[in-house]
Structure 1
Amino acid sequence: MASRIAVLGAGSWGSVLANLLTENGQNVTLWSHKPAQVQELNERHTNAAYMPNFEYQHQLKATTDMKTAITGAEVVLFAVPTKAIREVSVQAAKILVSNEQAVTVVHATKGLEQNTYKRVSEMLAEEIPAAQRNAIVVLSGPSHAEDVAKKDITLITAACENEDAARKIQKLFMNAYFRVYTNTDVIGAEFGAALKNIIAIGAGALHGLGYGDNAKAALITRGLAEISRLGQTFGANPLTFIGLSGVGDLIVTATSVNSRNWRAGNELGQGQTLDEVIETMGMVIEGVATTKAAHELAIKRHVEMPITDAIYDVLYNGAEVRSVITGLMQRDGRAELG
């Protein structure tokens, strides 16, 4: 029997996940606050601004009315940028309370809140009353929307402390090309998903400057060490960081032109300013805000994150990319596992 699912957010990832669920036989309603986008999805089954040359399942319904999307749903999937999570979750909570409705909350957003440094699941838990949510499940892993749309083999993680809820989401999403594993380490899954965007900016910058594979491999490896160090101070399982939510997501984001964060770094390495990069990208670059949050959080937690600090200097202090690379390379020698 088909499950009713509301997907909130019709960007590339949200719309492709909605399409996948529809393809899997689920009853999906996709919400967007943009009337023209909803009309395009319903009438032409396209979403050209986010997924050019892709045709969505004709059964997929889109709406600008969040109440229409949520009412009767068993699952509500949040796929909006981190900065919009609170606003959208407040709207959703009002509808759920009014309906006296409880749902499984899922999110596929990768970032940390500015100033509070909270993970997305923490924001959702604060805004959606406990009576209105059966569980909060985190979807993360190496998964570009463009590749999922092409039915490329994709493996991700559904993380939740409630294993039954994780298995429920696993079952909804799995098919011949999209495989889902479960994990109970929500903290690790969210930190891995958020912080890899920082390293992806650095990897793109290296490419823009003309550095080769050795440099990229070094950055990814030492970047993973930073991600793990910070995550573990919050109780994350270190093994999560060598799984899909950690090294898996880091590899795909730090090596692909499909990654907005990689593309942003590449343009910075080629000499563009951050303002120019943001203006031309046209979509949210999660790693820019996450770099600021992680840099400040590392200071508060007394965690050494030299790569994150260097990227912060480039993004927020106007430092020149080559100079911060030189600074990183000339740091005092130390043990790799220290």
Structure 2
Amino acid sequence: MLTEPKIAIIGSGSWATALAKILLNNVDRLNWYFRNPDSIEQFKRFKHNPNYLRGIEFDTGRIDFFSDITEVVEQSDVLVLAIPSAFLDRSLADLKTNFNHKYIVSAIKGIVPEGNQIVGQYLNQNYKVPYERIGVIAGPCHAEEVALERLSYLTIACPDIKRARDFAFKLECPYIRAHVSDDIFGTEYASVLKNIIAIASGIVHGLRYGDNFQAVLVANAIQEIKRFVDKVHPITRDIKSSAYLGDLLVTAYSQFSRNRTFGTMIGKGYTTRTAQLEMHMVAEGYYATKSIHEINQEYKVNIPICEAVYNILYEGATPSVEIRRLTEKLR
């Protein structure tokens, strides 16, 4: 009799918590890695994540908690990475084993800044994980709506479609629909770019631009994303599907979008440092903005919205002036 693969969540934030809730609909037990042992003790005591989505109550008898990353990797077959991309390299630095025969699913929507790599590239080049054993979870889906069990759609991308389908099946439940794709590069880059666009959306909201301009911004943004992903990984893809356009829309417009919230604070006059401190959460788009700017030095794609955000966050451009310049480039 075949045994079910053991799944582990690596990370303890809101998206990790939401994914744990989803997976426990379909698996008997789940491994879960927390960097901080104190958080594990609080979780066991109060039956919820002490720091994120506290409204989700868990049956902790079905969860095996770990604070040693080597141990959780060794005792798991499928690893779901849900660590902010800026901290991934540091988090894996203590790993004393390898990823041989593991299937790794990235729930990270960002770029690993040390090498300006999407997570799939980082795992392939630094840990020799074949792309066929790397998956990507794409939205549109906010952790907060998963907590409320509001109907959401996910796309699992992997060059090995069977692996993608097997993992998608583990996510299906009354409030989650899961589909598959083989576009691991396009879905990852689109997820990175939409976070930068969401910062732009927040900036213009903070500057009191209205819905009319927001619509123009997002309409231009999906074209910007298409130009970039088609240049970086030119395959046939439908950029209007949920994994691309849908993910962009929810991140640019939603009240739950931390990148939009971060951008709104910048538009209202906060410094980047102050905005980061007040949010108490990581806005992936902040780090992605610099990485995409540097990556685009090679590809030279026309991405004026992303460049405007870069100028504001990293070059000290005044938001009102930079956005006014941007308005002349959009159609």
Helix, strand or coil at the partner of 2:117: coil
- Residue matched to 2:103: 104
**TM-score using structure 2 length:** 0.92
- Residue matched to 1:248: 246
1:245-275: CA deviation from partner (whole Å, max 9, x where unpaired): 2111111111112111010011111111111
1:223-252: CA deviation from partner (whole Å, max 9, x where unpaired): 111111111112244634322221111111
Which is further off, 282-291 or 101-110? Answer: 101-110
CA contact (8 A) 2:232 2:299 kept: no
Displacement, 1:91? 4.3
Pick from 60, 63, 76 the counterpart of residue 60 of structure 1. 63
1:35 aligns with 2:37: yes
- Residue matched to 2:206: 208
- Residue matched to 1:21: 23
Which is further off, 7-16 or 230-239? Answer: 230-239
1:111-132: CA deviation from partner (whole Å, max 9, x where unpaired): 123263211011112233448x
Helix, strand or coil at the partner of 1:189: helix
Equivalent AA in structure 2 for residue 274 of structure 1: T
Displacement, 1:61? 3.1
- Residue matched to 1:73: 76
**TM-score using structure 1 length:** 0.91
CA contact (8 A) 1:90 1:128 kept: no
Note closer, same or farther for the CA distance 1:115–1:309 as it changes in structure 2 (3 Å cut): farther
CA contact (8 A) 1:8 1:77 kept: yes
Q: Quick one: distance in 1 between partners of 2:81 and 2:302?
A: 32
- Residue matched to 1:10: 12
Residue correspondence of structure 1 range 117-196 to structure 2 within 5 A? 117-130=116-129, 135-196=133-194
Structure 1 portions without partners, runs of 5+: none
CA contact (8 A) 1:6 1:75 kept: yes
CA contact (8 A) 2:158 2:164 kept: yes
Q: Quick one: distance in 2 between partners of 1:22 and 1:73?
A: 15
Displacement, 1:95? 2.7
1:74-93: CA deviation from partner (whole Å, max 9, x where unpaired): 2111110112223334545x
CA contact (8 A) 2:86 2:287 kept: no
Equivalent AA in structure 2 for residue 141 of structure 1: G
Note closer, same or farther for the CA distance 1:134–1:70 as it changes in structure 2 (3 Å cut): farther
Q: Quick one: distance in 2 between partners of 1:45 and 1:190?
A: 33
Displacement, 1:69? 2.4
Equivalent AA in structure 2 for residue 42 of structure 1: K
Note closer, same or farther for the CA distance 1:236–1:108 as it changes in structure 2 (3 Å cut): farther
Helix, strand or coil at the partner of 1:242: coil
Equivalent AA in structure 2 for residue 151 of structure 1: E
Note closer, same or farther for the CA distance 1:248–1:238 as it changes in structure 2 (3 Å cut): farther
Note closer, same or farther for the CA distance 1:329–1:96 as it changes in structure 2 (3 Å cut): closer
Q: Quick one: distance in 2 between partners of 1:179 and 1:247?
A: 17
1:144-175: CA deviation from partner (whole Å, max 9, x where unpaired): 11111111111011101111111111111111
- Residue matched to 2:273: 275
Which is further off, 216-225 or 70-79? Answer: 70-79
